Amino acid sequence: MAAFQSFVVCFIVAFAVIVSPTCAALTRNFYDKVCPHALPTIKAVVKNAIIREPRIGASLLRLHFHDCFVNGCDGSVLLDDTANFTGEKTALPNLNSLRGFDVVDEIKTAVNKVCRRSVVSCADILAVAARDSVDILGGPSYRYKVLLGRRDARNASKNDANNDLPPPFLNLTQLLSNFQSHGLNLKDLVVLSGGHTIGLSRCIAFRARIYNDTNINPGFAASLKQECPLTGGDNNTQPLDATTTRFDTVYFKSLLKSKGLLHSDQQLFKGDGSTSDKLVRHYSNHYLDFAKDFGVSMIKMGNMKPLTGTRGEVRLNCRRIN
């Protein structure tokens, strides 16, 4: 659907201007000629960052998701506020929650240096860093080939971030309609939620679930209440699954046991035999299918409304427009 939309946009632009340089699809080999060391450099910085702090892989994966869901994968999430706009960083889903900005800066500095100029966009850095994180934390997984050639936005919107990112208290119907509004389907929703196989969540995001939900394992809820009291401790973190630095199927296995940490996680498996239930059950014991389908859906997500050709810019510094 997203690919279809960008195809339609491309087609209209190409028609109007006959041959338009603004219309270009993302490609696998975008940097092969212009900077052959770009991708290995990104991977090396990501690898070091994960060695320093294993959680950072999860944080980098989430940055790409939050970038793409708000006006497409255009690096807008990285922009600091300016006099002209209030950016996405202070929007509710992001404030005190998104992390990894310093690692993105480190990557950008490294690629600017190895390429001898600023040619790798911040939007592409997020896409590659997300893929590399999954690859590094995933062991013998299927390494999906990320598509490249995105350019960076010159604006950002706090409002759009508040409106377009799904909050964790949504039910399945609402989660699906949010994903559909981004050109993604139920399978994409389930498999991409598998991103929660790595990383942590703050208490404030799962408090309502552990105190009020009924489809939760009682022992699991009781132990979480120790770490996440009814009042206070909003910033206390807990693992999204039991193996937070392994990209594995434990997230889906936990849902089968009503041990999803977020309300939105457990919505994917309610034990009602729905299509969503079946997908969760399947991924819970088919790691290779999960890894492969995750790559397919990540590419689909990464194709959302990219700026290509001469639109936008390649930022020199990911935090501000040139």
Ligand X SMILES: *[C@@H]1O[C@H](CO)[C@@H](O)[C@H](O)[C@H]1NC(C)=O
Q: Is 80 annotated as a binding residue?
A: no
The one of ligand X, ligand HEM, none whose footprint includes residue 83, by CB under 5 to 8 A per kind, is ligand X
310 to 126, 149, 191, 313: CA distances (angstroms): 20, 11, 33, 7
Question: What are the C-alpha distances in Å from 1 to residues 155, 160, 161, 303?
Answer: 25, 21, 21, 10
> Which of the stretches 55-63, 111-119, 284-292, 308-316 binds ligand HEM when contact is defined by CB under 6 A?
55-63
231 lies in the site for ligand X, by CB under 6 A: no
Residue 167 phi/psi, 5-degree rounding, is -80, 160
- Does 82 bind ligand X (CB under 6 A)? Our answer is yes
Q: Which residues contact 68 (CB under 8 A, 6 or more apart)?
A: 182, 301, 302, 304
Out of 27, 177, 212, 223, name the contact with ligand X by CB under 6 A.
212
Annotated binding-site residue? 72: yes
Number of Cβ within 10 Å of residue 37's Cβ equals 14
Residue 96 tokens read as 């005190």
178, 65 contact by CB (below 8 A): no
Q: Which amino acid is at 2?
A: A
Q: Examine the residue annotation and report whether 37 is marked as an active-site residue of this protein.
A: no
**How many residues comprise the chain?**
322
Among positions 182-221, residues that touch ligand HEM (CB under 6 A) are: 189, 192-193, 195-196, 198-202, 205
Residue 275 interacting with ligand X (CB under 6 A): no
Confirm whether residue 241 is marked as ligand binding: yes
175 binds ligand HEM (CB under 6 A): yes
Residue of 37, 64, 66, 263 with catalytic role: 66
Say whether 248 counts as a known binding-site residue.
yes
259 binds, among ligand X, ligand HEM, none (CB under 5 to 8 A by kind): none
As given in the structure block, the two tokens for residue 184 are: 């993604």
Contact (Cβ atoms closer than 8 angstroms) between residue 26 and residue 147: yes
Residues 276, 256: Cα–Cα separation, whole Å? 12
User: What is the maximal distance between C-alpha atoms in the chain?
Assistant: 64
The reply to whether 178 sits near ligand X by the rule CB under 6 A is no
Piece in contact with ligand HEM (CB under 6 A), picked from 59-67, 84-92, 114-122, 216-224: 59-67
Query: Of all helices (H) and strands (E), which one includes residue 200?
Result: strand 200-202
Looking at 41, 59, 71, 201, which residue binds ligand X (CB under 6 A)? 71
**22 marked as binding residue:** no
Contact positions vs ligand X (CB under 6 A): 71, 82-84, 96, 153, 155-157, 160, 171, 173-174, 207-208, 211-212, 230, 234-235
* Residues carrying an active site annotation: 66
Contact residues for ligand HEM (CB under 6 A)? Answer: 55, 58-59, 61-62, 65, 97, 99, 166-168, 175, 189, 192-193, 195-196, 198-202, 205, 240, 262, 264
